[in-house]
Structure 1
Amino acid sequence: MTLRIILFFLLFIEFSADVFSQEKQIVAIKIEGAKKTDVPFLKSILATKEEQQLDSIILQNDIVLLKRLPAISNAHYRVFTADKKGYNVSIHIDENYTILPNINLWTATNNQFSYKLGLYDYNFLGKNITFGGFYQNNGFDSYAINFRAPNLFSKKWGLALNHQNWKSEEPLYFGQQSANYLYNNISFEALGLYQINLKNEINFGVNLFKEKYQYLSGVTDPSIPKQLNLNKMLFKMVYAYNSLDYFYQYVSGFKSVLYAQFVLTENDFQNDFYIFWNDFFYYKRIGDKGNWANRLRLGLSSNENTPFAPFALDNNLNLRGVGILVDRGTGSFVLNSEYRHTVYDKNWLAIQTNIFTDLGAWRTPGGKLNDFFKKEIIRIYSGVGLRFISKKIYNATFRIDYGFSILNHTGQSKGGLVFGIGQYF
């Protein structure tokens, strides 16, 4: 009897092992549509691997990951039965063209004709590396060189290196008056990039920079030097939560990005200071052609009573139609909301119309938190715009918006056109 029990037990174990071993594995993964992108690199960043059990949830997450890469505009997969023991997985990608010139022409507030010429490859060597730079002339010479490789060391670890020599004429505000200064920032930055998982990423590092201010014109103040040379060190941390899903020009989901910086400075004019802000994004598909997009920015910095406050009020940053660098503050509250509707959509081109409302309030330098609720500080602009979107070139969206003032007690701009490359947010 005992022998029969032992034999039965052994047969049961063998049968169970045979049953569980029948769970089919992935025999082969094939990636189609890759021309410039390196296929072994793509396979290395996928969680789906050959000789592992097929998991549709993991595979779908890999598709989301691929669609977030600058090199890929869209991706989908199919599964085929290879034999009795396995599957073949075929992933098809639509590649973007990722070598892009950066050309901008404009007239600055001092009527100086300005231009910016640059070239960036957002898929350098076919390995999701961004590499490039630009030269800018706005009456002064500026340039930058940028390198970002999120998967340089492994699937999770990467590196970013940036060098910039930036010059611009900027207004500094003294109450109701202002002066124009030549601002020069020379910086060297190194960041470590770590992808915790599909939805969470952290970047951290240091930026060594020199700031120079040279008085040009306007009012003067005895407390503000006409010339400054400041050596500074900035410690930076960026944490991002990203659950966005992309389908060509359409976006859905939620994203949050927290920026935190601490600046050490060796001078008697400025103290060490901190600055942080969080951008919250929410996107929702509306029907087949609509997209509702929202951005909320909350930020604070050390509350020094200085014209060099870090948060700027500007057309291209937060409120469309408000003007160029019209104010500064030590706190920022901005809400941007717009509805985008596709009116034309073919193989390579999509055209969207949009209506938007931008609302913002600032804490004045040395002010209080209740500044955010003062009607003389709050600005509201609304307007309409157009988007011309290439579905084959990464970030190739030409946008034009016209914003007009709904609430503005300052006597500043009542509205204006805003041009740019890429969606506003």
Structure 2
Amino acid sequence: MIKQLLIFLLIIGFEGFAQSNKISEFKIEGAKKLKESFVKKIALIEVGDALDSLVIAQDIISLKRLPSVSHADFEVTKTLEGYFEVVYKIQENFTLIPSVNIYTTDDDEFAYRLGLYEFNALGRNITFGGFYQRDIFDSYAINFRAPYLFSNTIGLAVNLQDLTTQEPIFFDNTSANYKYNNRSVEVLGLYQFNFSNRLELGFNIFEEAYKYQSGATSADVPQQYKIPKWMIKGIYEYNNLDYFYQYVSGFKSQFNFQFVTSSSHESSEFFIGWNDFLYFKRVGEKGNWANRLRLGLANNDDTPFAPFSVDNNLNVRGVGNTIDRGTGVIVLNTEYRYTLLEKDWFILQGNSFVDAGTWRNAGGRLSDFGKTKNIKIYPGVGLRLTHKKIYNATFRIDYGYGITKGATKGLVFGIGQYF
């Protein structure tokens, strides 16, 4: 792509931006399931526009971000009349994808999630699907997401969920196991301001229920808790990532904010916010350095139901399934991915990582982040097996080994990169 951009810039340099430097024809090649009309709908260039290398470069990066596209390129040809023909060349992904996530630790914990998603429904980059989860109890979800449903900037997402898990609750230096259920309906409006910035804003109506299962008890901790709630939810994202098959480069920041309230007097208003900072860098021909920093805070209520958890699947590989909770979080995941083998469609990557995090105790102070007992550090290694022509078709297996006090070790399996 860089070579073509240089050639393209040379053409512009010789010709200037005269009135004749207009696009006379705009074609899409390689699109099969993906609708050509959809590609033209979201593209920034149009027939009759002046040729602009920066606009085309943004279009190509935007296309490569789509789940339905494994790679995209372009070609510019000058006609005898002095106009330009632009061709976007697309390599499609297979987009009907099963999802599998399995979590284990050396404490014989075992949980899994199985799902099936279509990421290019109707050829318009619409995601539709659902999952079944077994984590002691059964859970289900159905998800619909259409970022370009109404225009090239406005879309809609709808999520239905019935999630049930066994959750450890921590209080008075002891703990108990509760059955937790969350039934929810969520509707989000999606808006893309420009190439790098987008917003999701909407509401979620849900019911939370906790029921005591085993462990310690206390007069201050209810053994049964059920209350209807509603939430305002917002996500603001800055995305400057560029993809070349398995390699990623650039920076991304995603801020999540939720405000929860209820008409019941049993529940007070609650907020939670966190920001994920992601930085990726190509290292040589086969290396990729990946980093994620998460910073989060919530209401600092002294409650055993604190929102930020320490969990295999979320932040620290090998630590176990929800082993602790807090009202603040700082987590850094850094890993180095190296391509060991690459064929026409198959990629094998090795992976070494360090996951490190710390939490603020419920009702505690910011100084809790520095307490030794709250700090978890888990280095580890893993493998990635990737199919280049199937969206998100990366099977990962990681083994994390804790080096801080009271640490565990364990395997984490899943589909897709960890972050």
1:79 paired with 2:81, answer no
1:263-274 matches, cutoff 5 A: 263-274=260-271
Aligned position for 2:341: 344
Aligned position for 1:97: 94
Aligned position for 1:368: 365
Shift of 1:102: 2.7
1:416 paired with 2:410, answer yes
Give the whole-Å Cα distance in 1 for the aligned partners of 2:397 and 2:370: 30
1:305 paired with 2:302, answer yes
Letter in 1 for 2:213: L
Aligned position for 2:184: 187
| Structure 1 residues 382 and 115: alpha-carbon distance in aligned structure 2, compared to 1, 3 A threshold | closer
Give the whole-Å Cα distance in 1 for the aligned partners of 2:304 and 2:106: 19
Give the whole-Å Cα distance in 1 for the aligned partners of 2:133 and 2:227: 23
Give the whole-Å Cα distance in 2 for the aligned partners of 1:292 and 1:154: 35
1:163 paired with 2:160, answer yes
For 1:83, what is the secondary structure of its paired residue?
A: coil
1:236 paired with 2:226, answer no
Do the aligned residues in 2 keep the contact of 1:108 with 1:138 (CA within 8 Å)?
A: no
Give the whole-Å Cα distance in 2 for the aligned partners of 1:212 and 1:109: 29
Q: Percent identity?
A: 54
Q: CA RMSD in A?
A: 1.8
Q: Which moved more, 1:115-124 or 1:208-217?
A: 115-124
Give the total of aligned pairs.
404
Give the whole-Å Cα distance in 2 for the aligned partners of 1:291 and 1:136: 32
1:280 paired with 2:277, answer yes
1:383 paired with 2:380, answer yes
1:42 paired with 2:36, answer no
For 1:319, what is the secondary structure of its paired residue?
A: coil
1:258 paired with 2:252, answer no
Shift of 1:82: 2.2
For 1:67, what is the secondary structure of its paired residue?
A: helix
Q: 1:130 aligns with which of 119, 122, 127?
A: 127
| Structure 1 residues 136 and 123: alpha-carbon distance in aligned structure 2, compared to 1, 3 A threshold | same
Give the whole-Å Cα distance in 1 for the aligned partners of 2:329 and 2:136: 30
1:331 paired with 2:325, answer no
Do the aligned residues in 1 keep the contact of 2:104 with 2:320 (CA within 8 Å)?
A: no
Shift of 1:179: 0.9
Give the whole-Å Cα distance in 1 for the aligned partners of 2:340 and 2:106: 35
Q: 2:59 aligns with which of 49, 57, 62?
A: 62
Aligned position for 1:16: none
Give the whole-Å Cα distance in 2 for the aligned partners of 1:102 and 1:250: 21
| Structure 1 residues 412 and 113: alpha-carbon distance in aligned structure 2, compared to 1, 3 A threshold | closer
Shift of 1:143: 1.3
For 1:376, what is the secondary structure of its paired residue?
A: helix
Q: Which moved more, 1:259-268 or 1:97-106?
A: 97-106
| Structure 1 residues 400 and 104: alpha-carbon distance in aligned structure 2, compared to 1, 3 A threshold | closer
Shift of 1:85: 2.9
Do the aligned residues in 2 keep the contact of 1:22 with 1:85 (CA within 8 Å)?
A: no
For 2:38, what is the secondary structure of its paired residue?
A: helix
Do the aligned residues in 1 keep the contact of 2:103 with 2:313 (CA within 8 Å)?
A: no
Q: 2:288 aligns with which of 279, 288, 291?
A: 291
- How high is the TM-score relative to the length of structure 1? 0.91
Shift of 1:375: 1.9
Do the aligned residues in 1 keep the contact of 2:21 with 2:51 (CA within 8 Å)?
A: yes
- How high is the TM-score relative to the length of structure 2? 0.93
| Structure 1 residues 295 and 137: alpha-carbon distance in aligned structure 2, compared to 1, 3 A threshold | closer
Do the aligned residues in 1 keep the contact of 2:99 with 2:415 (CA within 8 Å)?
A: no
Shift of 1:191: 0.4
Give the whole-Å Cα distance in 1 for the aligned partners of 2:283 and 2:367: 36
Segments of structure 2 that go 5 or more residues without pairing to the other structure are 1-15
For 2:236, what is the secondary structure of its paired residue?
A: strand
Give the whole-Å Cα distance in 2 for the aligned partners of 1:84 and 1:233: 61
| Structure 1 residues 110 and 286: alpha-carbon distance in aligned structure 2, compared to 1, 3 A threshold | closer
Do the aligned residues in 2 keep the contact of 1:152 with 1:158 (CA within 8 Å)?
A: yes
| Structure 1 residues 322 and 136: alpha-carbon distance in aligned structure 2, compared to 1, 3 A threshold | closer
| Structure 1 residues 116 and 20: alpha-carbon distance in aligned structure 2, compared to 1, 3 A threshold | closer
- Structure number with bigger Rg: 1
Q: 1:212 aligns with which of 209, 214, 226?
A: 209
Shift of 1:74: 0.7
Give the whole-Å Cα distance in 1 for the aligned partners of 2:238 and 2:244: 19
Letter in 1 for 2:299: S
| Structure 1 residues 107 and 382: alpha-carbon distance in aligned structure 2, compared to 1, 3 A threshold | closer
Give the whole-Å Cα distance in 2 for the aligned partners of 1:136 and 1:266: 31
For 2:320, what is the secondary structure of its paired residue?
A: coil
Q: 2:26 aligns with which of 12, 29, 37?
A: 29
Shift of 1:359: 1.1
For 2:372, what is the secondary structure of its paired residue?
A: coil
Shift of 1:115: 5.1
Shift of 1:104: 4.7
Aligned position for 2:5: none
Q: Which moved more, 1:133-142 or 1:163-172?
A: 133-142
| Structure 1 residues 283 and 21: alpha-carbon distance in aligned structure 2, compared to 1, 3 A threshold | closer
